Amino acid sequence: MAGINRCLFVGNLGKDPVLGATHGGTPVINMSVAINGTRKQKDGTYAKHVEWVPVVAYGAMASACANNLKKGSLVCVEGKFTTRSWLDIKEQRVIVTEIIAREITFLNTKGSSAPHYDMGVEPPAYGPTDDDAPY
């Protein structure tokens, strides 16, 4: 039986998203999403805790994110968990774990505090279709 690799979460962007392109020219955006919660402490009290989740989106979805999202935007992300690694310029192994977005719902947009539930774009299958992803 094949495993299931699906992540679904709601959070706020920690900074403005960064739009770029793959070597093949496909738009790609990197975002850091904060998921606010609490953790129980040793003394039984609860303290605020933030999980930071790196998210990557490709194609039309990346462009839509660049045009509609900014630091603080509330988003719902559905995607797959992935890990990639490479050797940096100093020959040190770099390991990155991130979510490759399949769908991003904008729950509020630039200049608006009202919820906005329209995704606006139908995303392609996971990642770019021309196999030019950077991993």
- Structure confidence by residue, pLDDT tens digits, 28-37: 999 999 999 9
Distance in angstroms (rounded) separating the CA atoms of residues 96 and 53 = 11
Q: What contacts 70, CB < 8 A, 6 or more positions away?
A: 13, 16, 17, 110
- Is a pLDDT exceeding 90 seen at residue 126? no
How far apart (Å, rounded) are the C-alpha atoms in residues 135 and 130?
13
- Read off the pLDDT band of 109 (50, 70, 90): low
pLDDT tens for 30-68 read: 999 999 998 899 998 999 999 999 999 999 999 999 999
CA distances from 22 to 27, 32, 57, 58, 93 (A): 7, 19, 11, 9, 21
30: β partners: 18, 56
Q: Please state, in angstroms and rounded to a whole number, the distance separating the CA atoms of residues 11 and 108.
A: 11
pLDDT at position 1: 82
Rounded CA-CA distance 135/133 in Å is: 6
Q: What is the pLDDT of residue 114?
A: 38
Kindly report the CATH class assigned to 7-37+49-106. Answer: mainly beta
Closest CA to 127 of 54, 34, 53, 27: 27
